[in-house]
Amino acid sequence: MHYKKNNDFADNNELILMDVGAEFHGYTADVTRTIPVNGIFSEEQKKIYEIVYKAQEAGISYATIGSSKSKIHSVAYNEIAKGLINLKIIDNIRDARIYFPHGTVHHIGLDVHDLNTNSYFKENSVITVEPGIYIPEGSKCDKKWWGIAIRIEDDVLISKNGPVILSDGSPRKWNEIEDLMKQPSVLDDFELPKISPLLNN
């Protein structure tokens, strides 16, 4: 679920999944975005992205006072299962866990995974909503889906007026990400130093 070696090169048609836990004055955030290396999602990547996005939207709608982590996970899981069945990647709802193997919600605050013993959300709690789909090479589905891994994670405030997406300044829709990647970057003219082959061992 997390790539820690940091010693590989991304191919043109691959995705980069960035899970970022930032801190400010002792409080944490936990945001994930998945972007295409070449700036354009393939048709297959786009379809998987849309399923994850719909699952996240469905989950966020239940980030309300009195709701729970299990409720949000159930809603997101069902959305992912429905999407994977429609694409003929799985045959039944139970098999969605093969490609969505983790929970959807955790609390954040003083830690990236903050301790919380409440069964139901209280006002001013802050949680993440982070569904994902991960299709390894060799999976029991059409090869065109192999290697696609997408997660979208945002930080959500439980408020009396409904969910507030604290990380909404970062684009979440696939077309917004593509549009942002077309913009000039300070890194466009940046040259990386040559990496010694010894670092790959």
* The total number of structural domains that make up the chain: 1
Task: Tell me which amino acid residue 53 is.
Answer: Y
Q: Print the domain residue range for 158.
A: 15-179
Q: What is the pLDDT of residue 200?
A: 55
- 187 confidence band (pLDDT: 50, 70, 90): confident
Q: For residue 36, is it within any domain?
A: yes
Q: For residue 187, is it within any domain?
A: no
Q: For residue 184, is it within any domain?
A: no
Lowest mean pLDDT among 19-28, 51-60, 113-122, 148-157: 113-122
Report pTM: 0.90
> Which residues on adjacent β-strands are paired with residue 16?
35
Lowest mean pLDDT among 35-49, 111-125, 159-173: 111-125
Average pLDDT over residues 60-88: 98
Looking at every residue in the chain, the average pLDDT score rounds to 92
Q: For residue 78, is it within any domain?
A: yes
Q: What is the pLDDT of residue 198?
A: 62
Q: For residue 195, is it within any domain?
A: no
Q: CATH code at 167?
A: 3.90.230.10
The per-residue pLDDT for range 2-55, each reduced to its tens digit, is 677 778 888 889 999 999 988 999 999 999 999 999 999 999 999 999 999 999
Q: For residue 171, is it within any domain?
A: yes
Please, which residues have CB within 8 angstroms of residue 10's CB and are 6 or more apart in sequence? Answer: 16, 37
| Residue environment code for 140-176, b if the CB has 16+ CB neighbours within 10 A, otherwise e | ebeeebebbbbbbbbbbbbeeeebebebeeeebebee
Q: For residue 3, is it within any domain?
A: no
